[in-house]
Structure 1
Amino acid sequence: MTTTQNIKSRFPDLNFVKPLPVEAHPRYKPFAVKFNPEHVVLKKGHEKEPGRKQMLVDCIVDRDTPVPLRDGLHVYADIYRPASSDDGKVPVVICWSPYGKSSISIDGMFHRSGVPRDWTSGYETFEGLDPADWCRRGYAVVNVDARGAQFSEGTFFFWGDQEAEDIYDTIDYLSKQSWCNGSVCMGGNSYLAKAQVSFAARQSHPALKALAPWEGFTDIYRQLLRRGGFAMHNTFMAKYQWGVAGNHEVEDMAQMVKTHPLFDEYWAGKSDDVEKIDVPLYLLGSFANPFHAYGSFDTFRRAGSVKKWMRVHANFEWYEMYERSSNDDLQRFFDRYCKGIMNGWEEDTPPLRLSLHGCGSVPNIVERPAIGFPLRRQRLETYYLDAAAKTLHTSPRDNESSVHHEGHGLEASTSEFVLKFNEYTEIAGYAKVRLWMSCKEHDDMDVVVQLRKIDGSGNLLEGINFPCPLPDSEVPDAETSKLFGPQGFLRASSSVSRDPTRSSSDGQEVYYRHDREEKIEPGSIVPLDITLWPMGMVFAAGEGILLRVGGHFLSAPSVLVMKPQESEDENVGQHYIHTGGKYDSCLILPVAARSRA
């Protein structure tokens, strides 16, 4: 039985959708993508389009190269390598993707996410390394269409065992090519990062020397589709899987979000035991990334690799992917492990480089060296909610009080609590809240919390995620463009699934298995412990934090939606937050410093 057959037999209710072929898909049709196996040489100075990055060395391209898989099918790859590799062998960088080998790009993103047009050649796969740059650096870049994507054969699965198996076969094939020095690495953002982590958590290959998962997931259930145990981003998921073009079938994960609401064997198959990873890692992360912040730090914290580094930058991932100094840094890492160059990488590079956001009011802290995360020097400070005054305080409130908000609907109100800092303050790590909550009309509550930075007058502050010449007011309110603040999520009935054996080193991470639910009695007051996603902010004296509590996603829409959608929560009626007396509702902040170093 093949791995595909095994997956289908294990999950008989798993649905598949028929994707549009490449030539008919509106996302790919403008690029006139065709199956075109050919061997060509792109000479130094060649440019795909006017204004694009030129080829910096003579480059050999083998388009739509068939890569054999163990079940007799093939995936197809575009192989870019320096012409000099006919005489001097080079390492391979695999960019494993469902997006097409060189079609869709960041051209469609607002202001190209700050990336000037001449920074990219147009031959890069979306969120992958640019061959024009990396062939000059002495690497072959291999853009692979995942199984079932574009013209690759078979059923497309989102990560998991089948994709890991296919990546193993691809590594094996490429490492044996006459122009390859036997060393293979992988690189890329988002899906491409998740593919790397997913593979290394399941399999290993002696030719794989290094991974560069620049912002990804480790757990699709908890970090994307059912954050806190309730459905989220399903509109995104439906559009996302529709975006896969091909000739076969695509796993209908959007349907599984609905039919498999609890974490079970299906979702476990897409969750990564990163403790099993044993290859050198260069991770990228950002507190500004609402998709990948949790997964990036989770990989860094738990990966079994002895040699692992993480750089937390102050921009959005697409900008960092093509910025010159970022690629110079990545080359040092790859050179050390794929070429065996003793370049001082291990001696010179801090285990962690941390950037904190000032949201325009104070300067960002950019890539300050650190050792581990959570930070060893942090101090946990507890602030107690006061529902009557809508404030936070360092001491518990004696008097009981409550405040309420509508639980359902994107226009529903939120309960808000203000905290001001009397002095310069740095916060970096995992914030956590305990909320005593009730709902008279229903037996469950979907709860979302968010921390927003505010100025001295209480106005909300935002950060811009990349260099942009436009006024902040002209930058769209999208998660990819602006930093708003970390969120945390929990369905009240999921609180019974708390796993006390798993947490961050400081105890701030509250981890839920989400494998069972227990409804609450309407009107009963229950404690809910919620960890917010990692955060890093700096505050001037007089600035502060606004703690928001609502029943729906509180940040901006995703890039694939770009407008608010009907809330996918199951809330009914009003949600009450109880504070004071026996109700110790509080916010615990990881304070890293009270003065600027």
Structure 2
Amino acid sequence: MTTTEKLKSRFPDLNFVKPLPVDKHPRYEKSGIKFSPNKRTVLPKGHVKEDGRKKVLADTLLNSDTPIKLRDGVHVYADIFRPANSDEHPVPAVICWSPYGKTSISLDMIWHRAGVPKDWTSGYETFEGLDPAEWTRRGYAIVNVDARGVQFSEGTYFFWGDQEAEDIHDTIDYLSKQPWCNGSVCMGGNSYLAKAQVSFASRQSHPALKALAPWEGFTDIYRQLYLRGGFSMNNVFAAQYQWGVAGEEGVEDVAQMVKTHPLFDDYWAQKYDEVSNIDVPLYVLGSFGNPFHVYGSFDTFRRAKSTHKWMRVHARFEWYEMYEPKSIDDLQRFYDRYAKGIMNGWETDTPPLRLSLHGFGTVPNIVERSEIGFPLQRQQLRTYYLDTSVKRLKSLLPPNEAVASYDSQDLNASSDFTIHFDEYTEIAGYAKVRLWMSCEEKDDMDVVVQLRKIDSSGNPLKQIHFPCPAPENEAPEGETVKLYGPQGFLRASSIISRDVSRTSADGQEVFYRHDQEEKVPRGTIIPLEITLWPMGMVFAAGEGIKLSVAGHFLSAPATPAIQLEKLNNENLGQHLVHTGGKHDSCLILPVIAGNRT
């Protein structure tokens, strides 16, 4: 029985949607993509795919739609870009594993191309992957693989998990044996392409795999993407995502599974990445401004058992960082060390962690300061209590009990609490809130919390987080464009699933299994402990932070997708936040000791 057959047998309710073929898919139909198996093209140095694009920087051979036979007889197809002299001088192969089509979509569809100048990319790169026009010059082959079931690749498409890991293993094996390859294989790319790397290395290994560069990705699609805090989120995105796949056979209907498998069960467990299994050299990228991948990036770096691992936390959005020239140089040093065996000082010159903190335009960002581990050992956990009477955060617990409330179904409603710092302050790590809450109208609550930096007048700050000629007020609201602040999520009935063994010793990082639930009797006041996603902020004296508590996603203003998603939550009526006296509702912040160095 093949892995696909085993998965279908194991999850009999797993549905598959029929994708649109490439020539009829609205995303691809105008691209003129043709299936050209084993077509060989020479791209001479200086070649330009289209006006304004990056030139090919070295004579390059392109083998289009190269068939790679997998163990179950299915073929996936890859575009292989390699130096023209690689038959005589073999090179490492870098896999960019993708569901997007090898060169079908690009940053051109993103507002201001996420700050990436058009001449930084050639148009031969797969979306979120390395640009072969740059990397063949550096002595690498870039292998853009259409995953199983994508475009012209055969088979049924699964979102990550065992089938994809098996396919990547077979692809590594195939590439390592090609005469133009020096026997070393790496992987690269961000977002989905990063998740594919971590997913594979958590499940399997191959001696030819020498290095991974997961530049921002998930490790747990239940808690980090589709059911954050135990309740449905990004479900509109899930449906759009799977219908964005072009192919011939079937695409796993993960959007349906979000609805029919609301608890963390075997279905979600087989997609969970146990990153502690990873023992390949790692170069992880992360950003506190990334609303999708920051938790998974830190999870990978912190828990992988690799003895050679590094993380760089930059101050911009992932797409810009992928093609920034200094980033490319840095990544080459990493690959050169492990895929070519060049003793270039990478291990001695590179700090284990380079950390950036955001100043939101009022204070300069701290950019890639050398650190050792995360959270930082010098952090000081400071507790600030919610005071409803003045809507402030205070160092002392208010003696009198009070109640704040918000309409849990109003997308503009929240209970807010602020504090201003008397001196220069840095915050980096995992913040946590403890909230005593109740609801008279419903036996459950979906609660979202967020931290925003505020100026001295109390105005919440935001900023575009990539270089852009347009001012902030002209930029669209959205987490791929603007930086807001970290969020945390929890369904009240999930607190029964708290896992002490996976909660940090200091209590800041609370882990919920979400494998069971226990409804909350109406009107019962219960404590909710919610860890926010990793954060890094810098404050001048007089600036501060705002804690918001609400029943809905908070970062970007309400979008049509969020308006639809509110219909899928457990909220009804007023949520009450109890503060003061015996209800020690509070925010615990990881404050970094010391000066700005």
TM-score (norm 1): 0.98
Letter aligned with residue 150 of structure 2: A
C-alpha distance 558-548 of structure 1, shift in aligned 2 (>3 A): closer
Alpha-carbon distance between aligned partners in 2 of 1:74 and 1:214, rounded to the nearest angstrom: 27
Q: Do 1:275 and 1:303's aligned partners in 2 also have CA atoms closer than 8 Å?
A: yes
1:170 aligns with 2:166: no
Alpha-carbon distance between aligned partners in 1 of 2:170 and 2:85, rounded to the nearest angstrom: 26
- Residue by residue over 1:88-144, the C-alpha shift from the partner in whole angstroms, topping out at 9 and shown as x without a partner, is 010000000000001101110000000000000000000000000000110000000
Alpha-carbon offset, residue 507 of structure 1? 3.0
Q: Do 1:119 and 1:322's aligned partners in 2 also have CA atoms closer than 8 Å?
A: yes
Alpha-carbon offset, residue 565 of structure 1? 4.0
Alpha-carbon distance between aligned partners in 1 of 2:521 and 2:504, rounded to the nearest angstrom: 31
Q: Do 1:387 and 1:402's aligned partners in 2 also have CA atoms closer than 8 Å?
A: yes
Alpha-carbon offset, residue 503 of structure 1? 2.8
Alpha-carbon offset, residue 30 of structure 1? 1.8
Alpha-carbon distance between aligned partners in 1 of 2:309 and 2:595, rounded to the nearest angstrom: 30
Q: Do 1:424 and 1:594's aligned partners in 2 also have CA atoms closer than 8 Å?
A: no
SS at match of 1:133: helix
Alpha-carbon distance between aligned partners in 2 of 1:557 and 1:123, rounded to the nearest angstrom: 35
Q: Which residue of 2 aligns with 1:395?
A: 396
Q: Which residue of 1 aligns with 2:46?
A: 45
Alpha-carbon distance between aligned partners in 2 of 1:562 and 1:464, rounded to the nearest angstrom: 21
Letter aligned with residue 355 of structure 1: S
Q: Which residue of 2 aligns with 1:485?
A: 485
Q: Which residue of 1 aligns with 2:105?
A: 104
Q: Do 1:21 and 1:246's aligned partners in 2 also have CA atoms closer than 8 Å?
A: yes
Alpha-carbon distance between aligned partners in 2 of 1:497 and 1:478, rounded to the nearest angstrom: 32
SS at match of 1:402: strand
SS at match of 1:31: coil
Q: Which residue of 2 aligns with 1:468?
A: 468
Alpha-carbon offset, residue 86 of structure 1? 1.6
Q: Do 1:455 and 1:543's aligned partners in 2 also have CA atoms closer than 8 Å?
A: yes
Seq. identity, %: 73
Q: Which residue of 1 aligns with 2:502?
A: 502
Alpha-carbon distance between aligned partners in 1 of 2:414 and 2:370, rounded to the nearest angstrom: 37
Alpha-carbon distance between aligned partners in 2 of 1:409 and 1:152, rounded to the nearest angstrom: 45
1:584 aligns with 2:580: no
After the TM superposition, which residues 6-405 of structure 1 pair with which residues of structure 2 at under 5 Å, given as runs? 6-37=6-37, 38-405=39-406
- Residue by residue over 1:16-48, the C-alpha shift from the partner in whole angstroms, topping out at 9 and shown as x without a partner, is 000000010000112111101210100000000
Q: Which residue of 1 aligns with 2:523?
A: 523
Alpha-carbon distance between aligned partners in 2 of 1:36 and 1:449, rounded to the nearest angstrom: 50
- Residue by residue over 1:38-64, the C-alpha shift from the partner in whole angstroms, topping out at 9 and shown as x without a partner, is 101000000000010000000000000
Alpha-carbon distance between aligned partners in 2 of 1:254 and 1:124, rounded to the nearest angstrom: 28
Q: Which residue of 2 aligns with 1:421?
A: 421
Alpha-carbon offset, residue 154 of structure 1? 0.3
Provide the alpha-carbon RMSD of the alignment: 1.2
The unaligned stretches of length 5 or more in structure 1 are: none
Q: Do 2:285 and 2:297's aligned partners in 1 also have CA atoms closer than 8 Å?
A: yes
Alpha-carbon offset, residue 388 of structure 1? 1.4
SS at match of 2:5: helix
Alpha-carbon offset, residue 409 of structure 1? 3.7
Alpha-carbon offset, residue 469 of structure 1? 0.8
Alpha-carbon offset, residue 506 of structure 1? 4.0
Alpha-carbon distance between aligned partners in 2 of 1:551 and 1:150, rounded to the nearest angstrom: 39
SS at match of 2:428: strand
- Residue by residue over 1:294-351, the C-alpha shift from the partner in whole angstroms, topping out at 9 and shown as x without a partner, is 0000111111111100000000000000000001000000000000000000000000
The unaligned stretches of length 5 or more in structure 2 are: none
C-alpha distance 374-497 of structure 1, shift in aligned 2 (>3 A): same
Alpha-carbon offset, residue 594 of structure 1? 5.3
Q: Which residue of 2 aligns with 1:406?
A: 407
Alpha-carbon offset, residue 505 of structure 1? 5.7
SS at match of 2:85: helix
Alpha-carbon offset, residue 4 of structure 1? 0.1
Q: Which residue of 2 aligns with 1:541?
A: 541
SS at match of 2:30: helix
Alpha-carbon distance between aligned partners in 1 of 2:464 and 2:284, rounded to the nearest angstrom: 22
Q: Do 1:128 and 1:188's aligned partners in 2 also have CA atoms closer than 8 Å?
A: yes
- Residue by residue over 1:555-577, the C-alpha shift from the partner in whole angstroms, topping out at 9 and shown as x without a partner, is 12799x78854423220000000
Q: Do 2:236 and 2:561's aligned partners in 1 also have CA atoms closer than 8 Å?
A: no
When structure 1 is superposed on structure 2, of 461-470 and 156-165 the one drifting more is 461-470
Q: Do 1:428 and 1:592's aligned partners in 2 also have CA atoms closer than 8 Å?
A: yes
SS at match of 2:493: helix
Alpha-carbon distance between aligned partners in 2 of 1:223 and 1:557, rounded to the nearest angstrom: 20
C-alpha distance 299-373 of structure 1, shift in aligned 2 (>3 A): same
